């Protein structure tokens, strides 16, 4: 185990991407990947800054906790493993 201490920024009305990532325990590269895929939080931006409001952060977290039947899980949570075929011959999928 590491003795590193994680500092979580205090609650504010809006967060920088770095602050948002620290508060939500995700990497900055993951945040940008979520934005590229249309699954990240809404942003407020100007020519020189990007901020994520606390309301947008809360809405984003709410979307992540939606009931399973409301989510499109196919593209995110399944992976094909051709080396391990399903007993009926179909490709095997694993839920992450």
CB 21 within 8 A of CB 41: no
pTM: 0.61
In angstroms, rounded to a whole number, what is the distance separating the alpha carbons of residues 40 and 56?
10
- pLDDT for position 78: 44
All domains in the chain, ordered by first residue: 10-65 (1.10.10)
- pLDDT for position 80: 43
Per-residue pLDDT of the chain (96 residues; tens, 9 = 90+): 556 776 777 888 999 999 999 999 999 999 999 999 999 999 999 999 999 999 999 999 999 887 755 555 554 444 444 444 555 555 554 444
Give, for 94, the enclosing helix (H) or strand (E). strand 93-95
- pLDDT for position 10: 80
- pLDDT for position 75: 47
């Amino acid at each position: 185990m590491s003795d590193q201490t994680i500092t979580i920024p205090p609650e504010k009305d809006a967060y920088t991407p770095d602050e948002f990532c620290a508060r939500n325990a995700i990497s900055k590269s993951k945040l940008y990947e979520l934005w590229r895929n249309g699954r990240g939080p809404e942003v407020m931006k100007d020519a020189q800054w990007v901020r994520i409001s606390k309301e947008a952060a809360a809405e984003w977290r709410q979307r992540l906790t939606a009931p399973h039947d409301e989510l499109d899980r196919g593209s995110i949570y399944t992976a094909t493993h051709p080396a391990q075929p399903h007993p009926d011959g179909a490709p095997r999928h694993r839920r992450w």
